[in-house]
Amino acid sequence: MSPAASALPLPYPPAHAVEPSYSRQRDAFRDGSDTPRDYLERKLQQLARLEPGLSAFVHLDLDAARAAADRSSARYREGVPLSSLDGMPIGVKDIILTRDMPTQMGSPLYKGHRSRRSAACVVALQQAGAVIVGKTATTEFAAGRAGPTCNPFDPTRTPGGSSSGSAAAVGAGILPAALGTQTLGSIVRPASYCGAFGWKPSHGAFSLDGVQPLSPTLDHLGVISQHIEDAWAIATVLASGGSLPERPLPSDGTPVPEPIRPRRLVALRTPGWAETDAASQACFESALERLRAEGVAILDEADDRVAALERQLVEAADVAWRVFAWESRWPLASYRDCGADQVGSRLLELLDTASRMSAREHAALLAWRNGFRRELDVLGAESDGFVALASSGPAPVGLDQTGSRRCQVAWSLAGAPSCSIPVLRSQGLPLGLQLMASPTSGDEGLVAVAGWLNERLRLESVV
């Protein structure tokens, strides 16, 4: 635990419950009743109050942030903002290259390391006028040892990982949004623990240029935010540089999709259900009852097809781990070769798994993944998405691990869009409702249904 963790005021109210989205805040910038610089200063006051106990950041550049906010303020006065992100304070996960700040990847091997260039996503944000406040803490290479970050609702608990600092900073109300990455569960899980909206888009939705590589099949760049519309604004800017999914995201300026009530949702318990506490299970069941009362049909394991999918989800967790191990073996070996004592045990475990695999086995795993994606598309065609818990309960106590990935990993393997919606509470702590789509259904529909669920189920609670 951070030495100053006791200084963190608790319980901290979720910022999204008391503060409008940045997208709505821009109206005040346009009419002159507020400015991006004044907005930033309010956020920095929050940072000064909470960061000593939170440890969400590994590097801050407040002078550069203030200068960028001043330039944004001038553009709003002149009526020429650059984009829907102009002036938005944003954090960048510390496995993403930044030319003007260190990129240390949660590893002593990269202490003080500075790149001569920035990642494509950082360039896109800066060209859109976003205000980069700093680099947010990550686990080691987004795969190994946990960092020092605490959960904003309870400093004795993990914020999740590997996008630890991004989720904690957003959950504490320091930032409206931050970039995260997910290879197994690293956006959806910390967002669930920290009471934030976490969106892992379709695989290939955003350029991964300049993002620390782990697994080409599994790596995703995504967003953690206080509000869905702010995540959407970031996504449309990042997608403007080109994206690979069958249904690419629209470009900047496209309004967030209107909320849509789903006709039918597939309820999944996932392999994480066995490790979920009774209160959190009851919370999920209560949410399903709320949905039924709203006229949403719920398809569950009583249907043979859903029961078969639940069995596939168990296998998917193992398939994803082995794909991850094989595809990450070369970069992880290069770190180990710098000194085995310089890398954590989880990275060594991945390398050990890879040492017992072959290229033929990897190809078979990818073939299984393709079949899994087809099965999701078949069932997805008869519904408006899949729902599950975003994590197997609220954040666990302790900072030396970042929680189970068993609720999230299947959708990373499938490369299909998923998100954690901050509408549940269990034992007085945040718990996300996970909404997932099929691989070919696209992200816009996911966001539209997520918007409706966010409105109807906000802060459903079982204590």
Report the CATH number at residue 364.
Answer: 3.90.1300.10
Query: Which of 21, 43, 93, 392 does the annotation list as catalytic?
Result: 93
Total count of domains within the chain: 2
Task: Give the separation between CA 82 and CA 213, rounded to whole angstroms.
Answer: 30
**Do 140 and 178 belong together in one domain?**
yes
Q: Where is 69: in which H helix or E strand?
A: helix 62-78
Of 21, 73, 162, 383, catalytic: 162
Q: Is residue 179 part of a domain?
A: yes
Is residue 336 located within the same domain as residue 227?
A: no
Q: Which residues does residue 178 pair with via DSSP β-bridges, in sequence order? A: 91, 224
Q: Name the residue among 321, 330, 332, 401 with its Cα closest to residue 369.
A: 321
CA atoms within 13 A on the CB side of 137: 28
The DSSP symbol for 148 reads S
Asked whether residue 245 is domain-assigned, the answer is no
- Regarding whether 77 and 30 lie in a shared domain, the answer is yes
Range of the domain at 138: 5-10+22-239
What DSSP letter does each residue of 174-206 carry, written as one string? S-SEEEEEESSSTTHHHHHHHT-EEEE-STTSS
Whole-model pTM: value is 0.95
* 271 and 215 part of one domain: no
Same domain for 233 and 279, yes or no, is: no
- Structural domain includes residue 399: yes
b/e 52-84 (16+ beta carbons within 10 angstroms → b): ebbbbbbbbbeeebbebbbbbbebbeeeebbbb
* Catalytic residue, candidates 163, 164, 186, 243: 186
At residue 271's C-alpha, the angle toward residues 267 and 275, to 5°, is 110
* Token pair for 39: 């907005």
**Neighbouring C-beta atoms of residue 111, cutoff 10 Å:** 9
Alpha-carbon gap, residue 102 to 113, rounded angstroms: 5
186 given a catalytic annotation: yes
Residues 233 and 282 in one domain: no
Cα(29)–Cα(78) distance, integer angstroms:
11
CA 331 to chain centre: 23
Q: Are residues 39 and 165 in the same domain?
A: yes
What pLDDT was estimated at residue 342? 86
Can the peptide bond before residue 11 be classed as cis, meaning omega within 30 degrees of 0?
Answer: yes
Q: Identify whether residues 132 and 178 lie together within a single domain.
A: yes
Tokens representing 301?
Answer: 């394991």
Say if 258 falls within a structural domain: no
Q: Give yes or no: 243 in active site.
A: no
CB within 8 A of 37, min separation 6: which ones? Answer: 66, 69, 70, 72, 73
Closest to 90 in 3D by CA, of 27, 40, 151: 40
Q: Are residues 177 and 273 in the same domain?
A: no
> How many residues in total does the chain contain?
463
Residue 251 inside a domain? The answer is: no
> 304 and 159, same structural domain?
no
Give a yes or no: residue 17 inside a domain: no
The string of DSSP codes covering 264-292 is EEEE---GGGGGS-HHHHHHHHHHHHHHH
299 located within any domain: yes
Distances (CA, A) of 201 to 92, 120, 219, 224, 274: 17, 17, 11, 11, 27
**Domain shared by 102 and 204, yes or no:** yes
Asked, for residue 256, whether it belongs to a domain, the answer is: no
Residues 233 and 310 in one domain: no
pLDDT tens digits for the chain (463 residues)? 333 333 333 344 444 445 899 999 999 999 999 999 999 999 999 999 999 999 999 999 999 999 999 999 999 999 999 999 999 999 999 999 999 999 999 999 999 999 999 999 999 999 999 999 999 999 999 999 999 999 999 999 999 999 999 999 999 999 999 999 999 999 999 999 999 999 999 999 999 999 999 999 999 999 999 999 999 999 999 998 766 777 889 988 899 999 999 999 999 999 999 999 999 999 999 999 999 999 999 999 999 999 999 999 999 999 999 999 999 999 999 999 998 888 999 999 999 999 999 999 999 999 999 999 999 999 999 999 999 999 999 999 999 999 999 999 999 999 999 999 999 999 999 999 999 999 999 999 999 999 999 999 975 544 4
The answer to whether 36 touches 87, Cβ cutoff 8 Å, is yes
